[in-house]
Amino acid sequence: VFENVAAAPADVIFALTADYKADTFADKVNLGIGAYRTEEGKPWVLPVVRKANQILVDDGTLDHEYLPILGLDTFRKAAINLILGADSAAIADGRAGSAQCISGTGAVYAGAYFLSKHYPNKNVACYISKPTWANHRAIFEGVGIPVHEYPYWNPATKGLDLDGMLQTMQDAPNGSIFLLHPCAHNPTGVDPTPEQWEKIADAMKAKGHFAFFDTAYQGFASGSLDKDAYSVRYFAKRGFEMFIAQSFSKNFGLYSERAGNLTIVAKSPEVKNRIESQIAKAQRANISNPPAYGARIVSLVLNDGTLYKEWEDNLTTMSDRIKLMRQELVDELTRLGTPGTWNHITDQIGMFSFTGLNVTQSKALKEKYHIYLTENGRISMAGLNTKNVKYVAKAVHEVVTS
Ligand code: PMP
């Protein structure tokens, strides 16, 4: 039956990790996958997650019963509060709803699937940033929504191409879908300023575009949960209806537990209820109901003042170490006199830096120096530590000057 099935290409990031694992070189460095690593290069179970886990074990509530189709109520409410802010008018009006999903990926999927079935304009396209996280295209095309790109990264300035972005918003048919990264843009690490968000919101409003935010790094980018939610809260204040896919993989270190949420901001409580009911219907046929463990941990922490404070401290630990690595890499490249400017590495924010290294240079880092990064020159800053940063800087210097 399946003789004519063609092989699908392997996922680039997961293939890179497999190559890294198979490499026997002692000083190999993994700058590919977006997962936090300690100064020792190890995964980090957040101390607050350990504590929450112990509380769940001790209080005897860790059963294995099904969650409701839309997930754990206390988790959903807390996730909505976290992104929209406790003082949100949408929450007070009862216009904010949600579905717990299979982490951030599942939340983007649930939102995209809903739009594919219920968006009033059947010919709608989704505009994604150029570049973006590769799954955005895969998910939207997978549900049958055509994908176009809007300019985002300006290679000349190694910063945001705001004019290109606004022009595309102006030129796109009325009521298009725009996929936006609220903070710590993946892969560039370049975010709009509040003034630029105002212009983006103006352009979106003028054309009646639909905002679909995807946030995988709240609290991880700046260390401030409120600051990293600025764009979403600003759009909510401007009266946008929107979807926000939230991931708790990075900010809780719960990568494998698949804790995510799709927040919905609708025109009225009635519309919000109807959207939720359609997402529940789709979710029932897809995953039936979401996994409980990660959501229980997140819910416990978000709903307890003391644990919440401890979580903020853990977030600061991660974001401060990443900022330090940005500085050390730039200092080292400056000390070596590596040609080019490198200040964009410290200007960028979040898990990644878009170094500006080209495909040949990125490949050479992997093949000659056992430093693993994607071919677009993106490096995961968390893969650096005080022991390997000099080695990485020297290798970058050599590939740039060879
Ligand atoms: N969106 C973006 C932009 C991401 O970078 C990621 C993680 N790489 C995700 C969503 C979702 O990740 P997860 O499914 O692990 O929550």
70-123 per-position pLDDT tens digit: 999 999 999 999 999 999 999 999 999 999 999 999 999 999 999 999 999 999
What is the C-alpha separation between 89 and 92, in angstroms, rounded?
5
What is the C-alpha separation between 179 and 214, in angstroms, rounded?
7
Q: Which of 218, 215, 143, 219 is nearest to 179 (CA)?
A: 215
Give the chain's mean pLDDT.
96
Provide the sign of the torsion angle of the four alpha carbons 371, 377, 380, 381, taken in this order: positive
Ligand 1 atom with least separation from CA of 185: 3
Ligand 1 atom with least separation from CA of 133: 3
Under the banding of pLDDT at 50, 70 and 90, the label for residue 165 is very high
| Whether the predicted pLDDT of 33 surpasses 90 | no
Span from the CA of 105 to the centroid of ligand 1 (angstroms): 6
Residue 338, pLDDT score: 97
Span from the CA of 142 to the centroid of ligand 1 (angstroms): 17
Which position among 161, 191, 197, 214 bears the catalytic label? Answer: 214
List Cα–Cα distances, 158 to 134, 148, 155, 338, in angstroms: 20, 22, 5, 17
Is 133 tagged catalytic? yes
| Whether the predicted pLDDT of 160 surpasses 90 | yes
Give domain 12-45+319-401's CATH number out of 3.90.1150.10, 1.10.3720.10, 3.40.50.620, 1.10.1760.20.
3.90.1150.10
The residue ranges of every structural domain in the chain are 12-45+319-401, 66-303
Domain 12-45+319-401 and domain 66-303 have a common topology: no
Q: pLDDT tens digits, residue range 190-231?
A: 999 999 999 999 999 999 999 999 999 999 888 899 999 999
What is the C-alpha separation between 85 and 8, in angstroms, rounded?
42
**Interacting residues of 201 by C-beta distance below 8 A, sequence separation 6+:** 234, 235, 238, 240
When pLDDT is averaged across residues 256-273 and rounded to a whole number, the result is 98
When pLDDT is averaged across residues 358-367 and rounded to a whole number, the result is 96
Using a 6 Å CB cutoff, which residues line ligand 1?
34, 103-105, 133, 181, 186, 214, 216, 247, 249, 255, 260
| Whether the predicted pLDDT of 175 surpasses 90 | yes
What is the C-alpha separation between 29 and 50, in angstroms, rounded?
27
Q: pLDDT tens digits, residue range 309-353?
A: 999 999 999 999 999 999 999 999 999 999 999 999 999 999 999
Q: Are 262 and 71 in contact (CB under 8 A)?
A: no
Residue 60, pLDDT score: 87
Is 237 tagged catalytic? no
Give domain 66-303's CATH number out of 3.40.640.10, 3.40.50.720, 1.20.58.760, 3.55.30.10.
3.40.640.10
Which position among 51, 250, 272, 366 bears the catalytic label? Answer: 250
